[in-house]
Amino acid sequence: MANVIPTTHPSLRIVPADEAPFADVEAVFGTRGDPAHCWCQWYKLPGSEWRERAGGDGALRGRLEAQLAADGPGPGLLAYEGDTPVGWCAVEPRPALPRLRTSPIVRDHTPDADLDDASVWAVSCFVVPRRHRRRGVGAALAEASVAYARDHGARVIEAYAIDPSAKVAKTPAAELFHGTVSMFAGAGFVEAARPSASRAIMRVEL
């Protein structure tokens, strides 16, 4: 039985995704839309390799399955409502996400400039199928990410949040995969930098 990560959400159960059946991960990512074409590999592949995307979606899916089967913590958490998988959160040591090295949001603004420091963890992505949204799934996953990182020896956990309130137009749902400032603040994260009006680095010192 998978280890349950405690949260304050009364109806959701959060577990390490590497302890869940991969079929449940597949159920969250689905077969259409951005998650099914990315499989949380965007931050793990250099730009040139991503553009080539040898093997297509199936290869990216295989990479995530292999990462979940590998030794060590990460790369994510899975949320359940009852026995139904309802959400995914990518969380792991920051060096596992090499594209963050070239992101000006992270490279130029993180308080921890040593991007090889494995004691700094990153929350990089959320996937919540449309039918399960507006139920606090993302908030519960953000909260659980802190406990998960702490239990695995992290010194810091940070996220690269969207601030919809700073935008004139409504933020499309497709842009919210980073998580929102208010969601992370509710999970105990504190704003550490504001790279742009609508993006913030949110952190918890552990």
Confirm whether 21 is domain-assigned: yes
For 153-183, the pLDDT digits (tens) are 999 999 999 998 887 567 666 678 899 999 9
Residues 131-155 have a mean pLDDT of 95
Confirm whether 71 is domain-assigned: yes
Q: Which of 91, 89, 63 is nearest to 152 (CA)?
A: 91
Which 3 state secondary structure label does DSSP give 198?
Answer: coil
**What is the number of structural domains in the chain?**
1
For 17-59, the pLDDT digits (tens) are 999 999 999 999 998 888 988 999 999 987 767 666 656 788 8
pLDDT in the model for residue 153: 96
Comparing 8-17, 47-56, 141-150, the range with the smallest average pLDDT is 47-56
Confirm whether 4 is domain-assigned: no
Cα dist from 7 to 11, 76, 137, 148, 196, whole Å: 10, 16, 11, 11, 31
For 90-122, the pLDDT digits (tens) are 999 999 999 998 999 999 999 998 999 999 999
Confirm whether 41 is domain-assigned: yes
Confirm whether 109 is domain-assigned: yes
Residue 131 in this model has a pLDDT that exceeds 70: yes
**CATH number for 98:** 3.40.630.30
Confirm whether 39 is domain-assigned: yes
Q: Which of 2-6, 92-96, 130-134, 164-168 has the highest mean pLDDT?
A: 92-96
CB 185 within 8 A of CB 178: no
Q: How far apart are the first and last CA of the chain?
A: 27
Confirm whether 1 is domain-assigned: no
**E-only strand ranges, 95-136:** 120-127
Give exposure, 130-150, as e/b (b: 16+ Cβ within 10 Å).
Answer: eebeebbbbbbbbbbbbbbbe
Confirm whether 70 is domain-assigned: yes
Six token digits for residue 47: 């730009």
pLDDT in the model for residue 58: 87
Percent of the chain with pLDDT over 70: 93
Q: Is 47 exposed, middle or buried (0-12, 13-18, 19+ CB in 10 A)?
A: exposed
For 67-84, the pLDDT digits (tens) are 999 998 889 999 999 999
CB 75 within 8 A of CB 96: yes
Domain residue limits at 192? 12-205
What phi, psi does 154 have (nearest 5°)? Answer: -65, 145
Provide the pLDDT confidence category of residue 1 given band limits of 50, 70 and 90. low
Which 3 state secondary structure label does DSSP give 53?
Answer: coil
Pairing of strands 76-81, 156-162: unpaired
Six token digits for residue 176: 């919210």
Please tell me the chain's helix, strand, coil percentages from 3-state DSSP, rounded to the nearest 5: 40, 25, 35
**Which amino acid appears at position 2 of this protein?**
A
